[in-house]
């Protein structure tokens, strides 16, 4: 077996190459190979400088995930990086692809860094509930301004090559061959004498205590209870206020302490769960259909978001609306989304223009006759959806995939409107569709393996996380959401108020509480669902009328200026409304319930129990393929805090 680290020497420049596909992870063998290379090259007087490079599509993209949860094996990464930093000759990192986590820490141990134009550099450890543990928090603020170091370490977001150079993280962007230009820089450093190591340099800035207090308050407000970003800030503060040796020791202690926390365990669990969502055995050897053009039926908020998602992925889109006025409105929504993408830097002026060329909006289904995939995103009404699919069945190619974006309705019943239900699948996007990462793929009994494999390929194309769900009312996510929403309504009857429940959920780590979320999404959809279910509802089952009474008043959330909360004109932040409290108290009185006080812990215990009970039923019925799929759905579709791992993780069932 070829060694993952090799050394060659050419004209007094040594080239240390890491070859550990697919992402050149820092396995024990790689670490050992690097350590051996340092000792070998330090003993060779002919070597004047070293270039560190990687084969394949990327520089070192981080630790070896196969070693997660296992005791670290020597040589340890901090020691290897210290060896490189203290080598007799300068080392220069030639970076392409991504240099993330331990990969960037490795590059920080070098005397200089040359990056390709498309490279990304970052320290994403906070996403695993950790901080950099191999000197990253100490060396980075000695190379870039303290504010930039804090931003990179506490957010985990990478910087691109241009930004890396502008803040001092990289020395230059390669104009041609990165390895040749790194060798050129290595010769310059060798000629001028090896520069001071980062460990020997002072920090780039020395802010006062007021600065640190403001940073701490700002980060705590953003992370909603996650502890690793705050620990990252404290590690940077140590790096600025302590000698490097002490800061290295403090960093490692923090890293090891965080590694043993439940939050880090939850985040590591989610890391694997997101990458290993379930796949039915029947489709494992199936090849997906090629998707080259897509049609979308309906240009409302969801349809426009779906269309924009495919446009941003580089596909041509044809959107269908009922009349010319609706077409114009849909075009405006899609253009608005793309313009926001331009403002965020996702698109340039040039690529925005190119993207719009691939977009058209029409009123005739005939224009969809050659599409490979058509997605329906119309109003949540079975009769309407039946009519849409009957029309699509007439005009679309026989091998085209037909998908519905329904949130609750029976996808099998929708498929029955076609002559070939095997090509029908649910593609449940989450709003805003161009932002939310989850795609719930709803498989019917009739759906063919090719249809399902194509749906999975669509998720990959859109950079979304796919979760396969069976057919039931609400599938995985909305079924569990409805169950815990009902439990929250029962707590209102028993003594809580909407703002109390929302505050408890925010304290747990949710970005928004259940009632604020309903106001944002619109209460009318849930109301329509409850009315549809009324005929089949068990008359003996407990049912809260509070939400229905609010809807009967025309209060459908933010879009009507009132729902569970009232909204001042133009405001997206609601205020508690005495009218809602009066309705809540009237329902308690009608039911003869003596109201009681609820603590935040009481509220979250009830919510968690409701989620877990329904989740177990979803799993037992085969609606979800495995417990972790449920957690992925709740985290990425419903705001369950990622650092809490999901309801199944909390229940110990993963």
State the catalytic residues: 105, 125
| Closest to 401 (Cα-Cα) out of 385, 424, 368 | 424
The CA distance from 113 to 570, in Å, is 48
The CA distance from 78 to 246, in Å, is 14
Q: Where are the alpha helices (DSSP H) in 173-227?
A: 178-192, 209-223
The per-residue b/e assignment along 625-654, b for 16 or more CB within 10 angstroms, e otherwise, is bbbbbbbbbbbbbbbbbbbbbbbbbbbebb
| Closest to 152 (Cα-Cα) out of 172, 170, 133, 136 | 136
The CA distance from 288 to 215, in Å, is 48
Query: Crossing angle for the helix pair 523-533 and 477-494, nearest 10 degrees?
Result: 90
Q: How far is CA 614 from CA 263, 430, 468, 495, 625, in A?
A: 24, 20, 17, 23, 15
The CA distance from 528 to 524, in Å, is 6
Q: Is-contact 20 29, C-beta < 8 A? A: yes
Tokens in use for 95?
Answer: 């970076």
Q: What DSSP state is assigned to residue 535?
A: G
Q: Is 245 helix (H, G, I), strand (E, B) or coil?
A: helix
Peptide bond into 432 cis (omega under 30): yes
Q: Is 432 helix (H, G, I), strand (E, B) or coil?
A: coil
The CA distance from 377 to 147, in Å, is 44
In the block, tokens 């409701």 appear at: 610
HSE toward the beta carbon, residue 274, CA cutoff 13 A: 21
Q: Can you say how many angstroms the Cα of residue 57 is from the centroid of all Cα atoms in its chain?
A: 22
Q: Can you say how many angstroms the Cα of residue 461 is from the centroid of all Cα atoms in its chain?
A: 15
Of all residues in the chain, what percent are helix, strand and coil, respectively (each to 5)? 50, 15, 35
The CA distance from 125 to 153, in Å, is 8
Q: What DSSP state is assigned to residue 63?
A: B
The CA distance from 367 to 160, in Å, is 41
DSSP 527-542: HHHHHHHGGGS-TTS-
> What are the phi and psi torsion angles at 99 (to 5°)?
-120, 100
The CA distance from 276 to 457, in Å, is 14
Alpha-carbon torsion (604, 610, 613, 616), positive or negative: negative
Q: Is-contact 44 36, C-beta < 8 A? A: no
> What are the phi and psi torsion angles at 114 (to 5°)?
-110, 130
Q: Can you say how many angstroms the Cα of residue 582 is from the centroid of all Cα atoms in its chain?
A: 40
Query: Crossing angle for the helix pair 262-275 and 244-259, nearest 10 degrees?
Result: 70
> What are the phi and psi torsion angles at 431 (to 5°)?
-85, 135
Q: Is-contact 340 287, C-beta < 8 A? A: no
| Closest to 120 (Cα-Cα) out of 142, 141, 104 | 104
Burial of 587 (0-12, 13-18, 19+ CB in 10 A): middle
């Amino acid at each position: 077996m070829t060694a993952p680290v090799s050394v060659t020497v050419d004209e007094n420049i040594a080239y240390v190459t890491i070859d550990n596909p697919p992402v050149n992870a820092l396995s024990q063998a790689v670490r050992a190979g690097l350590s051996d290379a340092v000792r070998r090259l330090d003993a060779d007087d002919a070597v004047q400088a070293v270039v560190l490079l990687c084969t394949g599509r990327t520089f070192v993209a981080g630790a070896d995930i196969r070693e997660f949860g296992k005791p670290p094996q020597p040589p340890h990464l901090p020691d290897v990086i210290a060896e490189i930093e203290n080598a007799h000759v300068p080392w220069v990192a030639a970076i392409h692809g991504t240099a993330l986590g331990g990969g960037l820490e490795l590059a920080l141990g070098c005397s200089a860094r040359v990056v390709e134009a498309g490279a990304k550099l970052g320290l994403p450890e906070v996403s695993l509930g950790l901080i950099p543990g191999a000197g990253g928090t100490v060396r980075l603020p000695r190379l870039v301004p303290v504010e930039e170091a804090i931003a990179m370490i506490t957010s985990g977001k990478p910087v691109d090559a241009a930004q890396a150079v502008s803040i001092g993280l990289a020395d230059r962007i390669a104009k041609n061959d990165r390895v040749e230009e790194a060798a050129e820089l290595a010769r310059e450093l060798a000629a001028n004498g090896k520069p001071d190591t980062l460990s020997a340099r002072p920090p780039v800035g020395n802010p006062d205590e007021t600065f640190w207090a403001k940073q701490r308050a700002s980060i705590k407000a953003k992370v909603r209870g996650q502890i690793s970003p705050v620990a990252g800030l404290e590690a940077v503060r140590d790096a600025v206020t302590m000698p490097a040796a002490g800061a290295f020791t403090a960093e490692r202690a923090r890293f090891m302490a965080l590694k043993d926390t439940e939050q880090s365990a939850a985040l590591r669990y989610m890391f694997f769960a997101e990458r290993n969502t379930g796949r039915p055995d029947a489709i494992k050897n199936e090849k997906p259909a090629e998707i080259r053009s897509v049609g979308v039926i309906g240009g409302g908020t969801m349809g426009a978001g779906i269309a924009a998602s495919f446009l941003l992925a580089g596909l041509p889109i044809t959107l269908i609306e009922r009349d010319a006025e609706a077409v114009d409105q849909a075009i405006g929504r899609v253009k608005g989304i793309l313009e926001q993408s331009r403002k965020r830097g996702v698109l340039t002026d040039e690529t925005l223009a190119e993207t719009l060329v691939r977009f058209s909006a029409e009123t005739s289904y005939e224009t969809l006759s050659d599409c490979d995939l058509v997605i329906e995103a119309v109003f949540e009404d079975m009769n309407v959806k039946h009519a849409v699919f009957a029309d699509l069945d007439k005009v679309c190619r026989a091998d085209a995939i037909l998908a519905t974006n329904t949130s609750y309705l029976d996808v099998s019943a929708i498929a029955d409107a076609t002559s070939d239900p095997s090509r029908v699948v649910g593609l449940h996007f989450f709003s805003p569709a161009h932002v939310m990462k989850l795609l719930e793929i709803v498989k019917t009994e009739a759906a063919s393996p090719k249809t399902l494999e194509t749906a999975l390929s669509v998720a990959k194309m859109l950079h979304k996380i796919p979760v396969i769900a069976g057919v039931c009312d609400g599938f995985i996510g909305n079924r569990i959401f409805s169950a815990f929403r009902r439990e929250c309504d029962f707590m209102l009857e028993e003594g809580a108020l909407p703002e109390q429940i929302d505050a408890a959920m925010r304290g747990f780590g949710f970005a928004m509480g259940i009632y604020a979320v309903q106001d944002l999404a619109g209460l009318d959809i849930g109301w329509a669902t409850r009315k549809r279910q009324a005929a089949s509802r068990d008359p003996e089952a407990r049912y809260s009328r509070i939400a229905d009474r609010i809807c009967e008043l025309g209060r459908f959330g933010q879009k009507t200026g009132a729902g569970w909360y009232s909204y001042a004109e133009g405001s997206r932040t609601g205020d508690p409304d005495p009218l809602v409290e009066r309705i809540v108290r009237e329902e308690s009185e009608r039911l003869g319930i003596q109201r009681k006080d609820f603590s935040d812990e009481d509220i979250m215990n009830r919510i968690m129990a409701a989620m877990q009970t329904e989740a177990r039923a979803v799993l037992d019925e085969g609606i979800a393929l495995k417990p972790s799929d449920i957690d992925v759905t709740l985290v990425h579709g419903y705001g369950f805090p990622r650092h809490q791992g999901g309801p199944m993780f909390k229940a110990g069932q993963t």
